[in-house]
Each structure stands twice: as structure tokens, then as C-alpha cells.
């Protein structure tokens, strides 16, 4: 029987913890794939007595890690992070990524840029030749956000403020999320620079030149790809 997307996520989550060594400080990403990784890490901590410190990228992940007995520290309480394992929404052939489907991209990027190595774990549906089919998430300060949205619309970026049940989706820093429906992104570095320079935009979801290793969930088993 064909594996479901959820089973592929579980498989890569479990495979990823093989890369965690005793004594490591590990960045813990966010999302449905990472949830399986954190479950598997909790199991290693409990059953093998693996000694790690986790640095969570969201309140959700912090709660899950704590509930499983994984020691956690905040980003400002560690002097380095050895390896961060996170999910991704889209990964291109040249290993550039879009993240933030779960509104966690700001904290995720802070943890990623402070990590020696970064690993992304995805099911194979996340791979695409060119970025942009997944709407690009921005984190935007609420104050003046309608003005930012107007400017984005004028640039032709098709912004959509992310809402749930009639309420603004809020990030863990209590900001809004604006998704850009770009279709395809020809020049990700230029776009990233342009967006981050807009006043009120705190972060954008392009993760460029970030990832070292990608684990892809395939029906015949996880595939480990070295990016850089």
C-alpha cells in the first residue's frame, strides 16, 4: 500500500535523530514533520539517556519538548547550536527554501543563522524545481501593516493577510503574517533583499544558502541529500 504523506513525515523525523550525537545543542524546528522528530528525540533521551539541549523555534515546540523530558534552553541562553533540524514548505533544486507555513519563520531563521549546521526534513511533495508555488510568508508588525500590504500589492506581489476564524494569525512575537502569491520566484536573493528593506517587515520566509543536509521522505525510504 502507498505511504501517506504523514507516514513519509514520520519516517524522515525518525531518520533525522540518527544525526544527533551525545552532548549536542540541537535547534528544534516547528511544524508537523518536526513534531515526529521531537517525538523520536524524546524517545532517545528517555530510553538511551541521550544528553542533549534543545533550542526550540516556537512555543509549540518548546511545550512538546518539555512534555517529553527533553532539556530546553532559550536562544539567548546557549553559546552555540551544533545542528538545527527543521521542516520546510518548499525546497528548490539548488536547495533554497521557503518556510513559514506555520508562522514560525522569524524564530526559525534566528535559530538557523546561529547554528553550525542546518538540516531540513520533508516529504517529497515539498521538492520543486523553482521556488514560488508555495506562497511566501512575511512577518509584519501590526502597526501600519495595511500600508505595507498596499505597497506589496502595488508591486504586484498579491499579498494576503493570513487569517483564521476571522482573526489575524499571530506569530509567537505577536506579529501578523502576510503571504505573497508569487507563482514563481526568478531572483530569490534580490527579492529577499527588497522585502527585508520594507519598513514594518520583520522577516521574510526565503531561507537562502542556509541548509547543509536535506532528508526527503520517499516511498522506498528516506533519502539523505548533501546541499553544501
Q: Which positions touch ligand R5P (CB under 6 A)?
A: 29-33, 86-89, 99-105, 108
Please state the closest distance from residue 82 (CB atom) to ligand R5P, in A.
19
* Comparison of 5 and 130: residue with beta carbon closer to ligand R5P: 5
Binding-site residues for substrate, in ranges, read: 30-33, 86-89, 99-102, 126
**Which member of 90, 108, 139, 203 is catalytic?**
108
Binding-site residues, in ranges, read: 30-33, 86-89, 99-102, 126
Q: How many whole angstroms separate alpha carbon 29 and alpha carbon 107?
A: 9
Q: Tell me, yes or no, if 139 is annotated catalytic.
A: no
Q: How many whole angstroms separate alpha carbon 221 and alpha carbon 170?
A: 36
Please state the closest distance from residue 69 (CB atom) to ligand R5P, in A.
23
* Comparison of 6 and 22: residue with beta carbon closer to ligand R5P: 6
Please state the closest distance from residue 7 (CB atom) to ligand R5P, in A.
14
Amino acid at each position: 500500500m502507498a505511504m501517506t504523506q504523514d507516514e513519509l513525515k514520520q519516517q524522515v523525523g525518525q531518520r533525522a535523530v540518527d544525526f544527533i550525537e551525545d552532548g549536542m545543542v540541537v535547534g528544534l524546528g516547528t511544524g508537523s514533520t518536526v513534531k515526529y522528530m521531537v517525538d523520536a528525540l524524546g524517545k532517545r533521551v528517555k530510553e538511551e539517556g541521550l544528553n542533549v539541549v534543545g533550542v526550540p523555534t516556537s512555543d509549540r515546540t518548546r511545550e512538546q519538548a518539555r512534555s517529553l523530558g527533553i532539556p530546553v534552553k532559550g536562544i539567548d541562553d546557549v553559546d552555540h547550536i551544533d545542528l538545527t533540524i527543521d521542516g520546510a514548505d518548499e525546497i528548490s533544486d539548488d536547495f533554497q527554501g521557503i518556510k513559514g507555513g506555520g508562522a514560525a519563520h522569524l524564530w526559525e531563521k534566528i535559530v538557523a543563522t546561529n547554528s553550525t549546521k542546518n538540516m531540513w526534513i520533508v516529504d517529497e511533495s515539498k521538492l520543486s524545481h523553482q521556488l514560488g508555488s508555495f506562497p511566501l510568508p512575511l512577518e509584519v508588525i501590526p502597526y501600519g501593516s495595511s500600508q505595507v500590504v498596499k505597497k506589496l500589492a502595488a508591486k504586484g506581489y498579491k499579498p494576503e493577510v493570513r487569517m483564521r476564524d476571522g482573526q489575524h494569525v499571530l506569530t509567537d512575537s505577536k506579529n501578523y503574517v502576510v503571504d505573497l502569491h508569487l507563482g514563481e520566484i526568478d531572483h530569490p536573493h534580490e527579492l529577499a533583499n527588497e522585502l527585508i528593506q520594507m519598513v514594518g517587515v520583520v522577516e521574510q520566509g526565503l531561507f537562502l544558502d542556509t541548509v547543509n543536509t536535506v532528508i526527503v521522505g520517499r516511498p522506498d525510504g528516506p533519502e539523505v541529500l548533501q546541499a553544501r
